[in-house]
Structure 1
Amino acid sequence: MVRYGIIGTNFITEWFIEAGKTLESFQLAAVYSRTKERAETFADKYGGAEVFTTIEEMAKSPLIDAVYIASPTSLHAEQAILFMAHGKHVLCEKPMASHHKEVEQMVRAAEENGVILMEAVKSTALPNFQNLKQAVRKVAPVRRMVTSYCQYSSRYDAFKEGTVLNAFNPQFSNGALMDIGLYCLYPIVDLFGKPDKVRASGIKLSSGVDGEGTVILAYPEMEAVAMYSKITNSSLPSEIQGEKGTIVINHIQKLSSLKIQYLDGSEENVRVLQDKPDMVYEIEVFHNKIHRLPGADAVNSLDTSKLTSEVMTSARDQLKVRFPADDSRL
């Protein structure tokens, strides 16, 4: 049994708890909110849990083994390091932090305190991502990977009317790259490692964050292109193009369909049924890491999180998207 404390009382934490409740190894033990009333309402909705209104008290609490952090990205590093200093495992929502230097500090804290830290990227914890890794070998050598995730945000309507909600507020280290661009970049880095060069372009909004963009990662014998947007929609699939065929991926964030189109015109379906809520798989991976099960470290590894954060920091620098956290790293 892993006893969880929860930071954040939004729809993402509700999805997380609903997914966790399907596992016998999951227990909701504590909820944090700045207001007691909100914390109690949220805790009561899920059968009751200890309520905390200070982060420090929950971090010290013997009631929890791990914490799920779903606060604004600008708070991730400070909160995660605090909990790890008190011996708690940390499952941190993506992106792990505002800046790659913060991610490095979080990783050091995990190592120094002997606890597990994992970035909650649900797509790469899915069974179909493991199938994708096997499929890459069938089309190798790979020459190009193209990922696409463009989803118009309803919050952009408010933005155009003059209201800057959190999703487009640099104060919270947000924007299209941080929110959904990661879903395009993380699997590229997981599959192919550190690129030789990163080139980024995009549209910067008046609030200071990006609304959409393209990041090109250059490798010695291939290139990868990540296209993302919160101000337009797209129905384009993602692809991995190899000399022996092309892998077509429907929804890079869900991997709901995977097929190989070979050069001779034949096709192979390499998708398996993913019949659990997406977050269940990432929770299972996290628990496997806590229990030090063989192979668990290879999924959503800290190396992938560090490298992806480096790529995203480089892309932001090129886009001239800056966050307060860039000047006030721990």
Structure 2
Amino acid sequence: MLKLGIIGTNWITKQFVEAAEETKRYQLTRVYSRREETAKEFGADFGVTTVSTDLNEFMTSGDVDVIYIASPNSLHFEQSKAALLAGKHVIVEKPAVTKLTEWQELVALAKEQKLFIFEAARNIHEDSFRKVTELLPDASELLGANLNFMKYSSRYDLVLAGEEPNIFSPKFAGGALMDLGVYVMYAAIAWFGRPTSYHYFAQKITTGVDGKGTIILRYPNFDVTMQTGKIANSDLPSEIYTQKETIHLDAVNSIETINVLDLKTQELRNVPATRLENPMVEEATDFADVIENPTSEALQTSYNDWLEIGAIVHELMEQMRQEAGIKFPTDSF
């Protein structure tokens, strides 16, 4: 049983802890928050009374094997680094970092410490996502794709009222690309690999970050167009085009419906897909498999694939932000 410590006491942390315990591979043992009352209140839902308000005490505690980090984006890198130096495995919410060099440093440190670091880009771990992967033909037969994930955030109401909530603040590495955009980027890179060129048409808001935008990835013989945003809603499906079929998806994360249209016969077939009630169970299972089986060649190959996908995603996202003029305090461009 992996002893789990958490940083962050929001809804996504609760969902991950519930998923982790559902796998029966983890046990929540310690909660960190700057406010003791908040930590105790969160822990009470899981029968946990051991809390920390001092981050160093939390990191070095002996009752934690793996730390799940769901703090504001701008804190992810330093907290992940501290956890690895303290000898803990790390699961860090997306986006794990704001720049490629940070990701490379964390990956190298994990290897040096004989530990594992995972970015919780959950969609690539879902069984339905893998089923789509199995449907894809050779790259030479691909014609393109449209991937969409855009959902209005109620916190944009605060922006409209003149405030700057974390999720829309450059100080906290916020914005559409750094939130929902991570899902479409991970999907595209996992399915199609590194593009030959790319561009981000960002629609910036008053805080200086992007509220929504369009991403275009160019490949040798096709393009992938992606919409993402947090200041508007989209109910558009996602589609992948091949020389023989069109693959219709209801989403790029938590995929529930996969339909394949045969272009020649115009027959539509459904590929059975299961969306779990808690969409974080599959990633929690994958992470536990790797941690508990460090000598498994197959699992370590999967782990290294995730790290490489992450490297490409963070490289491209950093350069897209630079192109769009979306600058965070730690950026040098």
Please classify the TM superposition score into its range, dividing by the shorter chain length. Answer: over 0.9
The residue aligned with 2:280 is 279
Partner of 2:103, secondary structure, is helix
Q: Deviations over 1:101-139 (max 9, x none)?
A: 211111111111111111101111100111011111289
Alignment partners' CA distance in 2, 1:218 and 1:138: 16
In 2, Cα distance between equivalents of 1:96 and 1:234: 25
- Alpha-carbon separation, structure 2, partners of 1:230 and 1:24: 34
C-alpha deviation, 1:85, in angstroms? 1.3
List per-residue Cα deviations over 1:244-288 (Å, max 9, x = no partner): 111111011211111111112012212322334111111001001
Any conservation in 2 of the 1:8–1:71 contact (CA below 8 Å)?
yes
Contact 2:212 2:230 in 1 (8 A): yes
**Structure 2 CA distance for partners of 1:138 and 1:275, relative to 1, 3 Å:** farther
Which is bigger in relative contact order (C-alpha 8 A, separation at least 6)? 1
Query: What are the equivalent positions in structure 2 for 1:95-174 lying under 5 Å apart?
Result: 95-137=95-137, 141-174=141-174
Residues 1-330 of structure 1 mapped to structure 2, 5 A cutoff: 1-137=1-137, 141-263=141-263, 264-292=265-293, 293=296, 295-296=298-299, 297-298=301-302, 301-327=306-332
Report if the CA contact (8 A) 2:255-2:273 is conserved: no
Query: Is there any run of 5+ residues in structure 2 with no aligned partner, and where?
Result: none
Using the size of structure 1 for normalisation, the TM-score is: 0.95
Q: Which structure 1 segments of 5+ residues have no match? A: none
Distance 1:220 1:139, change over 3 A: closer
How far apart, CA to CA, are the structure 2 residues paired with 1:213 and 1:274? Answer: 27
Q: Percent same amino acid among aligned pairs?
A: 34
User: Which ranges of 4 or more aligned residues in structure 1 deviate by more than 3 Å?
Assistant: 293-297
Opposite residue 75 of structure 1, the aligned amino acid is: L
Q: Does the 8 Å CA contact 1:140/1:243 hold for their aligned counterparts? A: no
2 CA distance for matches of 1:224 and 1:169? 28
Q: Distance in 2 between matches of 1:49 and 1:25?
A: 20
- Structure 1 residue identity aligned to 2:302: A
TM-score (norm 2): 0.94
Once residues 238 and 139 of structure 2 are traced to their aligned partners in structure 1, the CA distance between those partners, rounded to angstroms, is 15
Preserved CA contact (<8 Å) 1:316 1:322:
yes
Once the two structures are TM-superposed, the CA of residue 68 in structure 1 deviates from its matched residue by: 0.3
Question: CA RMSD, aligned part only?
Answer: 1.7
Deviation at 1:21, TM superposition (A): 2.2
Number of equivalent positions: 328
CA contact (8 A) 1:67 1:83 kept: yes
